[in-house]
Structure 1
Amino acid sequence: MRPEASDFSPAFGRYVSLCPEEDVLSAIELQSSETQKALASVDETRAAYRYAADKWSVKEVFGHMIDTERIMGYRAICIARGETESLPGFDEQTYARNAGYDAWRIGDLAEAYAVTRRSNIVALRNLPADAWDRRGVANNNPVTVRALAYILLGHERHHLGVLRERYHLGV
């Protein structure tokens, strides 16, 4: 079952709209394999590429995807467990600037992605059925666990599209 528009902030609508699937968990698992193949196909020279001076490198895009995976996974677990406090937002530009992802080896980014995504898959797979519809607040906006799973899927689809179109990667 897909999330309703009231289950997430309109800011995330573009990501959810990229996900027509009803079975989000299977789609996330399949996507994980595809993204890992994409990471494995990038060498260090290509990983440093920026399509413009003020844009993120390939490494920084993958790093941003990992940061978002961690944050959305954390939000999903908190809300699934009944958290009532508002969870903080994050500034992706500040995170990217302070992460130092350009100094990471592409293999380390691949490893960080794989373990982070795998952890989220296992956590989501083992949620009680009623947890998927639990509602919490993140970045001062209401969100459900189900919506967060779709946001994870759609956010990664969006950035894989950016890597294809602007960075000319075969992902």
Structure 2
Amino acid sequence: MRIDRPAEGECAPYFEKYIAAAATSIEAGGHHDIVALLKAQPAAWHALLDAAPPSRAQYAYAPGKWTLAESIVHVSDTERVFAYRLMRIARGDRTPLPGFEQDEWVPESRANRRSLADVLAELDAVRAATVALVASLDEAAALQVGTASGREVSARALVWMIAGHQAHHLELTRTHYLAR
């Protein structure tokens, strides 16, 4: 099923940047829709990082910034949260869903004790689960609306936010973690 780009207002304004990043990635990568982008992004991570030296996992591009491993685990964690919200909302659950504090989660992830290959394998597994969830959606499910972090959000906006968040971090990885 094709999942059209959400209309403005289907998510909090902060997340519009991720929807825009997904749209840009679809156009730039020659993907025909958001599902194709979701399926292609793991290969993009591997193209960037499979040849990176193991020490790159603990590299932070500036003082106070996350290491590459922390950044990748953050992407996995955020995708899990967004996918959980997607499942609940697509299934018609109207229970307001809480926010999460990414900056508190990162140190607790202990990502710096893990190899780059390990955090990438986790990211692959998370994405495979997300793709399976998205494949289960029909049009009615994609249009469901719920509340997360105190704001209304549609299921289809969450699909686009997942892809866009990853697109954002892929670009950060290219420009900040691997540029030196």
* Secondary structure of 1:2's aligned partner: coil
Instruction: Compute the displacement of 1:169 (Å).
Output: 5.2
Aligned positions, number: 170
Task: Give the unaligned 5+ runs of structure 1.
Answer: none
RMSD over equivalenced CA pairs, Å? 1.6
Amino acid at match of 2:115: R
Query: Given the alignment, which residue of 79, 84, 101 partners 1:74?
Result: 84
* Secondary structure of 1:159's aligned partner: helix
Partner of 2:58: 48
Amino acid at match of 2:80: R
Mean Cα deviation higher: 37-46 or 68-77: 37-46
Amino acid at match of 1:40: D
Residue 166 (str. 1) matches residue 176 (str. 2): yes
Would you say the 8 A contact 1:40–1:110 is kept in 2? Answer: no
* Secondary structure of 1:33's aligned partner: helix
- Distance in 2, matches of 1:106 and 1:26, equals 25
- Distance in 1, matches of 2:126 and 2:177, equals 24
Partner of 1:11: 14
Normalised TM-score (structure 2)? 0.89
Q: Encode CA deviations 1:110-146: one digit per residue, 9 max, x unaligned.
A: 1111111001101101112210000000101100110
Partner of 1:131: 141
Identity %: 28
Task: Give the unaligned 5+ runs of structure 2.
Answer: 27-31
Normalised TM-score (structure 1)? 0.93
Partner of 2:75: 65
